Amino acid sequence: MSDEATVRGEVRAKTLEPSDAPRAKAEPSDVAPRVGAEAYVASLEPADPADDASSAPQPLTSRLPGFYAEPVATRLRRLVAFGVLSEDAARQLERGGLSLEVADAMSENVVSVHALPLGVGLNFRVNERDVIVPMAVEEPSVIAAASNAARMVRLSGGFFGEATEAVMTAQVQLDDVPDAAEAPARVESHRATLLAAADAAAPSMVRRGGGARDLEVRVIDADEGLVVVHFHVAVGDAMGANVVDAIAEAVAPQVAAILGGRARLRILTNLPLRRMVKVRCKVGAGAVGGAEVADGIARASRFAEKDPFRAVTHNKGIMNGLDAAALALGQDWRAIEAGAHAFAALSGHYGPLAVWRRTESGLAGELEMPLAVATVGGATGVHPGVRAGLELLGHPDARELAVILGAVGLASNLAALRALAGEGIQRGHMRLHARKRGLDGGGR
């Protein structure tokens, strides 16, 4: 069984039913949602038959009642009608987003294209802008749960956040450095020269406004002469791995000449502490199902702060939604995961990436984590489906994209904690499992 923040029971009725299957009467959007397996379905109004993708462009809203009940082709046409998806992008998605020819150029020993369902997270309002978030994931409740939680948060104004400048860190590691304890002072006297050498290794990045911003020296083990020099490099809208690695390799001989010893590893770290995102939101007690549920969410968050066994599952719930969006948008989700969990353990005690506190009116949530994402380079330039996803989001820059992904993670966390504070995860999961039996031959 997969865990957390998929909120097993909060799945849309569309999962394995024909598009014209009868639907239960939905509740108005301002009614407090029920806690339990049918919460998400009950929160959606029927599709408006007056909606017509052939009409004039509609004002963008991520609040799309009844979207789950429409045929796939109609959903895609609605996105085109909003003007957030071009006809060309829609055609690419209709064809699966990635041809075998492009796949063969992207990877090695390619024999096929392995597809995942691509859905959209709805109801998100981030920094006062509605966004429809592409999410690639095999489990429908990940998207349903994030969308449902975003609807609750929307009633209190949505998500707000900021990301720091996109600064990645290169490590130059040295062994056998003599008088290692004095290494920081020796490097400091050559600071300007070393930063200039770093910039010289990445002239195109410097021309775009990036380049070396700072450096620092860490003495890992003075007795062994183990020293590492960090070069902090602004990489703009790129993920930055290639440019940072190139800088590390270029400056290593000069660092070794200054410190003595032997240069060893020269590579980025996937714990980019100068590339952080913070996202926060408020949600009313009535929106999550009442004061008792709000109390339960706050208690569950506190449990994660005190117990690493709970914290890792709490964080997995965040990453359920964040990873799904990152995958749909061509991001290095493996690096994102590595950095997230390293940050969670940075204090020496593994803890939660997001916390929830009880307020007079409901709950306040905040997520903080390192998050290196890109809107240029890598898959963003060659994968048609990824380009369509960025188009759907309105072509954000890397910092805005980090905030959006952080909002998806925080929404997923809220959804999971709300389910746990109510009927629990397992009951809904078994209903979802039963829906899938028609496809997997009767269960495992």
* Catalytically active residues, by annotation: 139, 316, 332, 429
Q: Which DSSP category does 252 fall into? A: H
Widest pairwise Cα distance in the chain: 77
Nearest in space to 317 (alpha carbons), one of 213, 421, 391: 421
Residues 217, 172: Cα–Cα separation, whole Å: 10
Half-sphere exposure of 292 (CA within 13 A, CB side): 4
Q: How many CA atoms lie within 13 A of 103 on its CB side?
A: 13
Pairing outcome for strands 226-234 and 167-175: antiparallel
Residue closest to 352 by CA, chosen among 405, 300, 418: 300
Instruction: Please give the Cα distance from 201 to 181 (Å, whole number).
Output: 28
Query: Cα(424)–Cα(428) distance, rounded to whole angstroms?
Result: 8
Identify whether the C-beta of residue 235 lies closer than 8 Å to the C-beta of residue 244. yes
Spell out where 72-225 has E strands.
Answer: 118-126, 129-136, 160-163, 167-175, 211-221
